[in-house]
Chains A and B, each alone.
Chain A
Amino acid sequence: MISLPPHAGPLERIWHYVFLLICVLVFGFLIAPLLVILPLSFNAEPYFTFTEGMLSLDPEAYSLRWYEALFDTNPNRENKWLEAIPNSLWIAACSTLLATALGTLAALGLSRSEMPFRNLIMGLLISPMIVPLIITAAGIFFFYARLNEYAELTGSFIGIVLAHTVLGTPFVVITVTATLIGFDQSLVRAGLMCGATPTRVFFKVVLPLILPGVISGALFAFVTSFDEIVVVLFVGSVEYQTIPRQMWAGIREEISPIILAVATLLICVSTLLMIAVEVLRRYNERQRGVTPG
């Protein structure tokens, strides 16, 4: 359909090439901002733009200085990035675990045909993705402020993990329910008839089959938490740094091109995660006998 039929008139020919040009431009618009970051992070000068030397491909103009600064372990110099990386990873890992467990259970219930008020409950479970982050963040801020008499959640690890779990669950619910659409419920009945307990059926029959969807959902939840900044700005604390919070401060104060180095690493991480999810999706489709599309 996209190829030009041999009988196409000149007008159609022109339109065909204009169309392809438009597509190339839009793809450029989507991807160019990411591509620009990569070489600039190797800039030897503290600028956010290409220097003369970089354009003439002078090896002197390129350096790893921003990456070295990022991973600078010299105890005499304060390096907040190095603190932020493990914090972010831990928060993301814990909230992913929670979100995946809660979301998978809920998705199992939602995909049963007997589920009462299915549409309403599904809408409710997805809503953390839809409600503006600033509202969620403000609400959680008030909530933690009220709880502070009993438990100091503001600025704490647990406080941020709980908030990020809220934001991550919709992704798990969506991906796991999508995987369960093609799930053959008679397999569960077969397992039960063979004498397995429901828990055993879940771990031996259901989970291996829906695992690709669960992992995709977990990866989405991980990225959501790993990139999250608004909630951290409201309920985090200055002492408890995360990578996005460091970046936010870096962009606002324009300190150094270290953020370009961080951005490059983050782009690499997201590329890997994206590939992982795509592979899982195709594996899942093959397994279910759906032609990959």
Chain B
Amino acid sequence: MAEIAGSAQGMAAITTADGRPLAVALRHAERVKRWKAFFLVLPLLLFLGVTFLYPIALMLFRSVENPVVADNLPRTLAALESWDGEDLPDEAVFAALAADLGEARENKTFGRLATRVNQELSGTRTMIMRTARRVARFEAPFKEAVTAAHPRWSQLETWAAIARLGDRYTPIQYLAAMDLGYDVQGNIVAQPESRQIYRNLFLRTFWMSLVVTLACLVLGYPIAYLLASLQARYANLLMILVLLPFWTSLLVRTTSWIVLLQTQGVLNDLLVWLGIIGDDQRFQMIFNAQGTVVAMTQILLPFMILPLYSVMKTIPQSYMRAAQSLGAPRFYAYWRVYVPNTLPGIGAGCLLVFILAIGYYITPALVGGEDGQMISNLIAFHMQKSLNWSLAAALGGILLAGVIALYWLYNRLVGVERLKLG
């Protein structure tokens, strides 16, 4: 294009039928074509923008948004600005607190305030609820009245927490999602051991996904090899065995694993019937991490086999023959010639399986038991049970960042247009 434009300028005489310079006309035509292509994609882009990207942005926004304390205690926070953090705040702050709590009581928003402060500093729920209920009867000096209502108002820790929660936007949920928090001085410190959950959960999610990915690779590689080297007729028939689980509902497959593996299930019955174990020694094979890994491996195996197969199909058989005729033993030739050629397939399959595995929710929720829960399950717990939506959003944000990094890598190494379905 640039070359054409350059030569056209050089000659300057070439024009189109309507008298415009050729280079200009061509550039215009190219631009029109680009816009036409773009307009075809535009409806879907807009649709996904509204119903997919915007909701996710909304979730990420919620993970840093922290309006409750700032909305409910505006005067207290303003008065706290000059607080040095060394001693208890002065009378002005307590007076502002009494005014704010009185208003929160009228607006009936003090429950939310109590919940939010309690998430940060446990045990403060009753403090706020009780004080807010009595606030109408308070008289100056407010310092005595407030601290008499609940002793925790006379702790520096409480005031530090309130000052910290006053920020409208805060990374505090992300810190919580990594088992970190602030101490009284405002330094970032690790949570006490007994309250650390999330870091272990991220590690476990990572570890389980890794095991599932490796298991898929080990099981999928021979199958893909078999399919790639069989005649097309037989390969197509066997391919159905791979595609059928791929098409079957996730819930159906999870159900069938429960039926197979539970203590009164088919496999345990078989082992008892064969006399390998006694009726009272049945194995606990499901509702734990191992059961989850087994079920997830079966569910994700087709996603490993398909990319491996499509790469193996393109490796000419003559490579192996050439290596062998040059004197390499069969295994050596296989290891040094065939396997390196399948590396793109291995990379594609492993990345895809890993990406899908770390976000898994349904299977761990149904067969995970205690130690098979993954990060998605905790996000669901905070969304539906504990109703700590900001923390759920922060956990989701971290998970999303991991997935996007892996997806970017997949796009760089494999190319998203190579993604195939069956």
Residues of A within 8 A of B (CB): 1-2, 12, 19, 22-23, 26-27, 29-34, 36-37, 40, 47-50, 102-103, 105-106, 108-110, 112, 114-116, 119, 121-128, 130-136, 138-143, 146, 162-163, 165-166, 169, 171, 173-175, 177-178, 216, 220, 223, 226-227, 229-230, 233-234, 244, 247-248, 251-252, 259-260, 263, 266-267, 270-271, 273-274, 277-278, 281, 291-293
Residues of B within 8 A of A (CB): 30, 33-34, 36-45, 47-48, 51-59, 62, 219-220, 222-223, 226, 229-230, 232, 236, 238, 240-260, 262, 264-266, 269, 298, 301-302, 313, 317, 320, 330, 355-356, 358-362, 366, 376, 379-380, 383-384, 389, 392-393, 396, 399-400, 403, 407, 411, 415-417, 419-422
B366 touches A251 (CB 8 A): yes
With A119-B411, A139-B55, A227-B250 given, is the CB distance from A103 to B266 under 8 Å? no
B222 touches A22 (CB 8 A): yes
* In the A-B complex, the 9 residue pairs with the closest CB atoms: A132-B359, A109-B40, A139-B55, A33-B256, A143-B55, A106-B44, A109-B41, A112-B37, A270-B247
B34 touches A132 (CB 8 A): no
- Chain B residues whose CB sits within 8 angstroms of the CB of A127 once the complex forms: 52, 407
B241 touches A30 (CB 8 A): yes
Tell me the complex Cα distance, A11–B318, Å: 23
With A128-B52, A130-B403, A227-B250 given, is the CB distance from A1 to B229 under 8 Å? yes
Q: A31-B241, A119-B417 are in contact. List 17 more A-B contacts (CB 8 A).
A: A33-B260, A49-B266, A109-B37, A112-B37, A115-B37, A131-B400, A132-B403, A133-B376, A135-B396, A140-B55, A142-B389, A229-B362, A244-B251, A260-B255, A263-B255, A273-B247, A291-B232
**B247 contact from A29, A109, A116, A274, Cβ within 8 A:** A274
B421 nearest CB across to chain A (Å):
6
A29 touches B232 (CB 8 A): no
Tell me the complex Cα distance, A136–B51, Å: 9
Tell me the complex Cα distance, A19–B224, Å: 12
Q: Taking CB as reference atom, which chain A residue is nearest B61?
A: A142
Tell me the complex Cα distance, A162–B259, Å: 34
Q: Chain B: interface secondary structure?
A: helix
A48 touches B265 (CB 8 A): yes
A29 touches B298 (CB 8 A): yes
Q: Taking CB as reference atom, which chain A residue is nearest B32?
A: A114
Q: Taking CB as reference atom, which chain B residue is nearest A246?
A: B251
Q: Taking CB as reference atom, which chain B residue is nearest A162?
A: B51
A135 touches B230 (CB 8 A): no
Tell me the complex Cα distance, A220–B41, Å: 20
B301 touches A30 (CB 8 A): yes
- Chain B residues whose CB sits within 8 angstroms of the CB of A48 once the complex forms: 258-259, 262, 264-265
**B244 contact from A26, A34, A103, Cβ within 8 A:** A34
A84 nearest CB across to chain B (Å):
13
Tell me the complex Cα distance, A119–B407, Å: 13
B55 touches A102 (CB 8 A): no
B259 touches A40 (CB 8 A): yes
- Chain B residues whose CB sits within 8 angstroms of the CB of A140 once the complex forms: 51-52, 55
A247 touches B251 (CB 8 A): yes
**A143 contact from B58, B256, B330, Cβ within 8 A:** B58
A115 touches B38 (CB 8 A): yes
Q: Taking CB as reference atom, which chain B residue is nearest A178?
A: B420
B241 touches A125 (CB 8 A): no
Tell me the complex Cα distance, A132–B364, Å: 14
Q: List 21 A-B contacts (CB under 8 A).
A: A29-B219, A30-B245, A31-B244, A34-B253, A48-B262, A105-B43, A110-B41, A123-B411, A125-B44, A131-B56, A131-B359, A131-B403, A132-B399, A139-B56, A139-B59, A146-B58, A169-B44, A227-B249, A248-B362, A270-B244, A278-B422
